[in-house]
A and B are shown apart, each in its own frame.
Chain A
C-alpha cells in the first residue's frame, strides 16, 4: 500500500504505486544440460569435442553447454545438406515444400509461449517483446514464404527460377529466432537446403527449433543447425556452400566479402546501421516521442535499424527533449521475464563493454548525458537508457553504431539540412520521418539513402515488406518477393526480356 503524502486540505495523492512483480513462468521451458549439433535430423556430438556455456545475461547464470563446431563438423553438416538437396529436396514438388513451411509456422504459433520465454531467458529481451513481436513475426515469415513456394514462376515472370543448392546462413544474437525465420523460410521456399549457425551467445531457440523441424517431419538434412563462435562461422563461409547469407556487424561482413571474392558463391549481407530518426516541428509530438523510444530502446537498442541518431527540427527541440526525458523516467528496466519490463538486459559482457566505451567517449567529446533515475539489478549485464544531447555530427556517438540503449540527439533547421545530415554516414539501413505533411514524407523518402524508411512510426516489420541496406549496411533484401531472389538462380535470365 502506498504511503500518503499530505498536501493542504486536498485529498492527498499517493507517494508511490509499485506494480507487483508479474513474472512469466520459466517452467514451460525444458533445458537440457548439454546440446548436440543438429545434422541430418539428429543431435550429434561435435567431432571437435569442444563445448562452451551459454548464459542468462540477466543473471549470468549458466543455462546449458553448447557444442563448438569445428571445421570437420561444418564440413559434415554441409555435405549432409548437399545430400539432402540432391536426394530429393530439389526434386520435391513445390507444394510439398509449402506444406512443411506451413507446418513449421503452425507449430511455432502453438509453442509460442515456450519460445518466447526461452528467447527472453537466453537473450535478455523483455518477454513483452519476445511474446508480442519476435514470435508472431517469426511464424508470419514461415506462413508468408510457404505461400510463395509453389508460385516462384509467378514471382519472377519470364525468368526461370532454379534453386541454388546449399545455403550457409549466419545470424546475430539480437533477434535469434526471428533472424532464423528470415533466413530459413525463403531458403526452403526456393528449394534449397540449409546449414545455419546461430549466434554464439543465443543458440537455445535455434536448438529448440530443431524439435519443431522434427515435429513437422521435415526430411532429415534439409535444415542443419551448427553452433559455435566466429571460427565456426568462418569455417562455414569457407565451406562448400552455394550461398552465404550473413546478418551481423559491418566489420565481419567486410571480412566475409573479402573471403568470398571470386569464389563464385552468392552473398547477401545485412549489416550495421546508424539510422536517422527525423522529427519535424509539425509532427504529432507525443506520438513521435513514443516512436523515438520505440526506435532506440526497443530490444535494448540491439537493433541494426535502431533510430540511434535523432534529428530534431530546432524549433521543436526543447519541448520534445523535455517530453522525451519525462518519458524515459517511466521506462521499466529489469527482469526480462517480468511482463511489465520495458527494457531488459544487455546481451553479453562484451556488448556491455562496447556500449560503456562509446558512452565514455561521448562524455569526453563534450556531449551532455541524461539518464533517468533507475535501480539496476546487481547481477547480469545492464545499461540505463541514455540520451546524449549537444551532439556534433563529428562525435563518435554520432558516427559509430553503439548497438545499445543510447540515443544521440542532433538538430536541423530545414528539410534540406535534415537530408544532408541523415545521409552523412557510411551506413544506410533505415530512417524515420515524423511529420503531418504527406508530401514531405514522399519528398524525404526519395532523398534518404536508406533501405527502409518509416513514416510516423518506427521498427515496424512485415514479412511482405523487403528489408535491407544501402552502402555499408549491406546488400540483398530479405522479406517480400525480393527476399526470394538471393536464393534462386535464373536460367537465361534476361534473355526473355523480362
Chain B
C-alpha cells in the first residue's frame, strides 16, 4: 500500500481529479427530502421484502463494558438463527463486538456465514495515539475479525487537521489488508451536514469499504437526513469513479418502520444495487426483535406477544 500523499493544511483533499467536488449540503432542503421519502407507504409484500432484507443486512451489536463471553455467545446464536420458530428467517449479516470478545464470537458463529465485526481504534472516542490504534486494528484481525469498524479522530477533524484523519484511515487499511473496513464518522459530533459530507468523502478517499454514521454512544446518530447526506456522497463517488462504497447507519434505528424508511432512502437514492448486505448494513441491537415481530405480523395478520421473541 502506497504512502499517503502529503496534504496542505487547508481543505485540499488528495481527491482524484475525477472525484466529485466536495460541495455543500442545504440543511432545510435535505431534511425536507428525507421527510418526504419517509412518507412512502410500504405495505404487504413490499414491506415483507424490506423486513427480510433488513434481517439479512443486520450487524447485531453489543458494545457494553459489561459484555461477557456468555452474552456474546447468546448474541451469536441469535445472529445465526434469529427466529427458531420460523425457518424462513435468514441469519443476520454479522455480529459486532469489542476486541476482547472477537474470539468468543468467532468460535460460536463458526462457518455459518455470519461475519464477526470488531470495533477498533480506541472506540468510541478515537482519542489515542495513531500507532496504538493501528496496532489494535491489526490485532482484532489476528483474533479472527472479518470486519473492522474503526472510528475517525473527530478531535482532529474538528480542528481542521483533515490530513491526520486521512492518514490514520490509510494506515489502518494498510494494517488490516483485505479485511473489510467500516469507518465510523460519529456524525453526532460533527455538528453540520457539510461536515458529514466532507468526512464521508474523506473516509472514502482514504479507502473505506463502508462509511458508518455512529458509535451508538451518542443520542444523536443515524437520522434519515444524515443517512441521506452520506448516501448522496456515496452516489457522487460512484457516478464519478464507478467505485461502490457501502453504508451503515448505526444507533437510533430501533424499530422496523425506521428500518423500512431507511431502505426506501437507499432504494431511491442509490437504486437496487445497494440493497444487499455487501453494500448496506444496519448497526443495531434492539431492532432485530421488532423486525421479527413485524414479519410474523405480516405473515399471520396478528401481533404476537414480545414474550415469543428471544431476548439475548
Contacts and interface: CB of A to CB of B under 8 A. Distances in A.
Interface stretch (B43-51, B97-105, B203-211, B289-297): B43-51
A132 B239 CA distance: 33
A290 B33 contact: yes
Interface in A303-342: 319, 322, 330, 339-340
Interface string A7-47: 00011111111111010000000000000000000000000
Majority SS at the chain A contact face: loop
Given A19-B42, A456-B28, A287 B33 contact: yes
Contacts of B268: 330
B278 interface: yes
Contact of A14 (B30, B48, B272): B272
B26 interface: yes
Nearest to B23: A285
A436 interface: yes
Interface in A128-173: 128, 132
Majority SS at the chain B contact face: helix
B20 interface: yes
Q: Which residue, A12, A20, A282, A436, has most C-beta atoms of chain B within 10 A?
A: A20
A17 B46 CA distance: 7
B276 A436 contact: no
A195 to B, nearest CB: 38
B50 A17 contact: yes
Given A20-B45, A128-B39, A286 B30 contact: yes
Interface in B27-86: 28-30, 32-33, 39-50, 53, 56
A13 B46 contact: no
B274 interface: yes
Contact of B272 (A17, A286, A290): A17
A337 to B, nearest CB: 12
A291 B56 CA distance: 35
Contacts of B143: none
Q: Which residue, A17, A132, A330, has most C-beta atoms of chain B within 10 A?
A: A17
A239 interface: no
A91 interface: no
B24 A284 contact: yes
A255 interface: no
Interface string B268-306: 100011111111000000000000000000000000000
A407 B40 CA distance: 25
Nearest to B25: A284
A15 B49 CA distance: 12
A14 B275 contact: yes
A115 to B, nearest CB: 19
A19 B24 contact: no
Nearest to B279: A13
Interface in A230-287: 282-287
A152 to B, nearest CB: 34
Contact of A19 (B33, B40, B275): B40
Nearest to B267: A17
Contacts of A495: none
Contact of A287 (B30, B43, B48, B239): B30
Interface of A: 1-2, 10-20, 22, 128, 132, 282-288, 290-291, 319, 322, 330, 339-340, 436, 456-457
Which 8 A-B pairs rank lowest in CB-CB distance, beginning with the nearest? A287-B29, A22-B41, A284-B26, A287-B26, A339-B41, A20-B46, A20-B44, A13-B276
13 contacts: A10-B278, A11-B277, A11-B278, A12-B276, A14-B272, A17-B46, A17-B50, A17-B267, A19-B43, A284-B26, A284-B30, A285-B23, A287-B25
Given A284-B29, A319-B239, 13 more contacts: A10-B276, A14-B49, A14-B272, A16-B272, A17-B46, A19-B41, A19-B46, A20-B46, A22-B42, A290-B33, A322-B239, A340-B40, A457-B29
